[in-house]
Chain A
């Protein structure tokens, strides 16, 4: 069984986002980028499944401009077998439906029965790509999973989903897509042997233009603003009384 892990390169969540007023977008020039944390968890889970003997191959896929290769290298250094780089001419802000279409083309071509991906990317927080992909491929889907257990025969998987009312356990038939939540696992470090091997692992480049997919946006961004976190700076309160006082002063009570 092949596992495909779509991963995204995002602004490092530990760095401060800078807004470019002119283009009304987050300024990514000269910013530190990193693999989306949820994608790291997806990579870790795929590697665990492979180590348990349930998968024959793990493949990371990422879509973006040239620098995206660094993120794929990272996945290779963590241990995935090979990588597919869908190259875009410029840094496009692709929307979930477009991403779904691109990924579905790759997954069909590879004939993968299991797709493990992050529940969302921490840059846009869309939380849509997995769901749309499942519609496009007609694969079963389990979102926000915190537990994952394949059946012995690799025909189905039991997942626990973190939902508002608690934990929901479901059985999915393969082929399936799962989108992972934070508590699923602890991603491993890139190890020296894997770092050394990563350079010689296959990394295939597919030009986005060759896939013949309409990438025009369906959602229009009207504006981007700083979140003004300073005005809402957290304040530590020592007692319930103090809390009531504060709330009264704010006119909230």
Chain B
């Protein structure tokens, strides 16, 4: 294996100082494995800079010496983008020490934070200023805002507030040659040429390291209702969503789907239980919020139920009467990524299609997958209010993983081809990283691919920034 020159390692350590690097192989271990332990790389050095200038110095040194850099946030990414390869020629920059909330401007409805802030801490800081930072996802206790912006994370409030990209007004980025791009503007209007910050949002650390961001804030929701709705069929899901939109206007914040198989594995592996006395097959977790106390959300939900019972979409529902019940309902949805792994795991797909096509997409891919391998069980859940389906083709309990993988080699193609037929995306919110590079080559058009490569080459001339990820 190649090795990074020891003098360079020495200089890099010098830049951050004795308390801000890790070179002990054992202590490095958690940084080079991804969250589900699927991907394992290696690096001689983890740096934990405490300022933008420090990041800039590190990057400059690496760029001058052709050393690869892997930026890492909370390491909760699901496509292997935040862990180094096994070449040994990449150092890792962990942003966890740059975790200050620099400023909250309640009147301007913005906050400025360092990239290493944990998402839940950003939410809390906004809350203490009586404001909402709406990005919310299962990993929020560990993932960092820098990671969220670099992956353009989605989560459970996209329907109402948009994904990470839409929550940013300004960025500070250390570019691959070490210069600092200071775009920390707090403006809602700024049409002065190319919108440069967009380049870095969702580019998974391949074009630079995000060091600070100006985020958009919103009024706090003062009223909220959370309900788990049992649907008569999969097709009823988009119908319920339309009715909710018609009746509640913009009050619908979340619309998450789960199927029967999801509730079954939750009951097996957690203390959560199916709140219904009958065994229904399709569920939607619905949340309405309003920043007005007197928005009568409960009444609006009741009205929606009346219409949707009449048109046959809704068969039953429970409504949380307290925050602890609401938390309980959300737990069902949020535990799923962990729970299906406890059940034995399987092949996972993060697909998006137009909302109206979701049922047909799920039905068609389920059928094709079962034709190709008849022992697998399909588990579907996801942010289907955004057309985003997490489709899991579960390994049967009595088959070992290696056999399963070798017998299901076709499944990926089936899934991605089906998604393409619906004009969908092969990676809705989890990104490309290393896992989906191949799909990028297949499913992106030539023009898109070559534009991406041109951008990468012109910004990262020496190909040091998260090399071999994405493009």
Residues of A within 8 A of B (CB): 12-14, 16, 30-32, 34-35, 37, 40, 70, 73-74, 77-78, 187, 189-193, 195-196, 199
A16 neighbours in B (Cβ, 8 Å): 127
A80 to chain B, nearest CB (A): 12
Assess the A189–B318 pair: CB atoms within 8 A.
yes
Within 8 A of A (CB), among B289-331: 293, 298, 302, 305-306, 309, 314, 316-325
A73 neighbours in B (Cβ, 8 Å): 298
**CB-contact partner of A37 in B293, B298, B316, B322, under 8 A:** B322
User: Please, how many residues of chain B have a CB less than 8 angstroms from a CB on the other chain?
Assistant: 23
B344 neighbours in A (Cβ, 8 Å): none
Majority DSSP secondary structure for residues of B touching A = mixed
Assess the A40–B321 pair: CB atoms within 8 A.
yes
- Report Cα–Cα, A31/B223, bound state, in Å: 9
Is B182 positioned at the interface, with any CB of A under 8 Å from its CB?
Answer: no
Assess the B293–A32 pair: CB atoms within 8 A.
yes
25 contacts between A and B (CB under 8 A): A12-B322, A12-B323, A30-B293, A32-B222, A34-B322, A35-B321, A40-B321, A73-B298, A187-B321, A187-B322, A187-B325, A189-B318, A189-B319, A189-B320, A191-B316, A192-B316, A192-B318, A192-B319, A193-B316, A195-B302, A195-B305, A195-B317, A195-B319, A196-B305, A196-B306
Is B141 positioned at the interface, with any CB of A under 8 Å from its CB?
Answer: no
B122 to chain A, nearest CB (A): 17
Which 8 residue pairs of A and B lie closest in terms of their CB atoms, listed nearest first? A189-B318, A14-B323, A192-B317, A190-B319, A192-B316, A74-B321, A30-B293, A190-B321
B302 neighbours in A (Cβ, 8 Å): 195-196, 199
- Report Cα–Cα, A165/B46, bound state, in Å: 53
Is B17 positioned at the interface, with any CB of A under 8 Å from its CB?
Answer: no
When C-beta atoms are compared, the residue in chain B nearest to A33 turns out to be B293
- Report Cα–Cα, A190/B223, bound state, in Å: 17
A78 neighbours in B (Cβ, 8 Å): 321
Within 8 A of A (CB), among B194-253: 222-224, 228
**CB-contact partner of B323 in A13, A31, A187, under 8 A:** A13
Known A30-B222, A30-B293, A196-B305; judge A191-B324 contact (CB<8 A).
no
Assess the A32–B319 pair: CB atoms within 8 A.
no
B323 to chain A, nearest CB (A): 4
Quick one: which of A35, A73, A189 has the most chain B CB within 10 A? A189
- Report Cα–Cα, A73/B297, bound state, in Å: 14
Is B14 positioned at the interface, with any CB of A under 8 Å from its CB?
Answer: no
- Report Cα–Cα, A31/B294, bound state, in Å: 10
When C-beta atoms are compared, the residue in chain A nearest to B293 turns out to be A30
Is B30 positioned at the interface, with any CB of A under 8 Å from its CB?
Answer: no
**CB-contact partner of B305 in A12, A40, A70, A192, under 8 A:** A192
